Amino acid sequence: MIKPANRTNLVQEYYFSQKLKEIEQLNKQGHNVINLGIGNPDMLPPQDVLDELIKTVNMSENHGYQSYKGIPELRKAFAEWYNTYYKVSLDSESEILPLIGSKEGIMHISMAFLNPGDKVLIPNPGYPTYRSVSLLVGAELVEYNLKSENSWYPDFNELEKLDLENIKIMWVNYPNMPTGQPASKEIYKKIIDFGKKHNILICNDNPYSFILNDNYTSIFEIHGAKDIAIELNSLSKSHNMAGFRVGMVAGNTYFINNILKIKSNMDSGMYKPLQLSAVKALQQKSNWYSSINEEYKKRRTLVWQLFDKLGAVYDKNQTGMFVWAEIPQKFNDAIEFTDMILDKSKVFITPGNIFGSNGNKYARISLCGTTKTFEKAIKRIEKIN
């Protein structure tokens, strides 16, 4: 028996990977589960993105290895996108690094800046990958609380009371997943000040800016943010291109160069037709985003109805691709609540505890389903009440 590396004992199979196996078995038994759990965009990318992909795939010169730092056209398109929508100036040559998805970027950043034993500030609740990647590189986790009574923003008085020695990175994510809390320049300013005070690299994960949100905000809008912060972004959610695996990280030249040292040893560049297609995506006018959001608004209204029937409570000011709701008090935790729904109605929604202990009394529904799908789910829920 060949024993696996010790690091494999530090993490478990991704929750959704496990749950999809369970759903697959239920479907084999003929139950036809409605999956409302995963944020997997179901609408098409912009048409000119698809046209560009088809055209460039048929060009023989596009199938070789590409630059580790992305083609110049893509870096320039990212810079222009940031300038147009975030009003942020980035140098396309030295401050932008395209990635094969921002999830992979979390690993690149962690490997570039964390040594075994370094500490990482992880939000609770928060994206599970921050936790798992930190553990895989040998870092020590230090959770910081996000709570509804503080609008799901960091409590800086509480943060200052933590042992901040050896804290190397702080993961931040606004608009927030899973809570849907919008970004705030005031909070970004406090986060940047906190990072500078304690010499902590601020890593802002920013993939949800364009979903049900007209206030596009980047942490780089804060004066001096580039001194201490980097920002991840992605086309997965904003342009319905999750399978394309196109993301980016932005930051000052020092940060980008160190991330590139890791990235260049882990991949051999992104397929050029995908990069050229991404350029087209980044050139979309604001009305394209508006059209996508009109559909999400219709879906969100139905999700509100679904949660109403379940007796869950939610904030209508949320942004992003999900609706986050507090479960009825009669349930011990989110697992009990969501398992009951799956068992009785064959509708799967995500228990909030997979994002951290502060999500134990919450559940999340993805907007990535047709209106007919949500209407069907509502009818099933009605039968169990």
Q: pTM for the whole thing?
A: 0.93
- Give the separation between CA 312 and CA 325, rounded to whole angstroms: 6
295 — pLDDT class (breaks 50, 70, 90)? very high
In sequence order, the 6+-apart residues with CB closer than 8 A to the CB of 170 are 120, 121, 144, 191, 194, 195, 200, 201, 202, 203
The mean predicted confidence, pLDDT, of the chain is: 94
Query: What is the average per-residue pLDDT within 64-87?
Result: 95
The residue extents of the domains of the chain are 6-44+287-384, 48-282
Q: Please report, to the nearest 10 degrees, the dihedral formed by the alpha carbons of residues 208, 211, 315, 175 taken in order.
A: 20
Q: Strand 96-99's sheet: what is its strand order?
A: 96-99, 247-250, 229-234, 201-205, 167-172, 119-124, 140-145
Cα separations (Å) of 385 from 11, 79, 344?
37, 51, 10
The pLDDT value given to residue 3: 85
pLDDT digits (tens, 9 = 90+) for 159-205: 999 999 999 999 999 999 999 999 999 999 999 999 999 999 999 99
Cβ neighbours, 10 Å, residue 193: 14
Cβ pair 39, 321 in contact under 8 A: yes
Cβ pair 117, 97 in contact under 8 A: no
Q: Do domains 6-44+287-384 and 48-282 have the same CATH topology?
A: no
114 pLDDT higher than 80: yes
The pLDDT value given to residue 14: 66
The pLDDT value given to residue 385: 66
Query: What is the average per-residue pLDDT within 322-346?
Result: 93
304 — pLDDT class (breaks 50, 70, 90)? very high
Cβ neighbours, 10 Å, residue 9: 9
Query: What is the average per-residue pLDDT within 215-226?
Result: 96
Domain 48-282 carries which CATH code? Answer: 3.40.640.10
Please say whether the structural domain 6-44+287-384 has been given the CATH code 3.90.320.10. no
Cβ pair 358, 154 in contact under 8 A: no
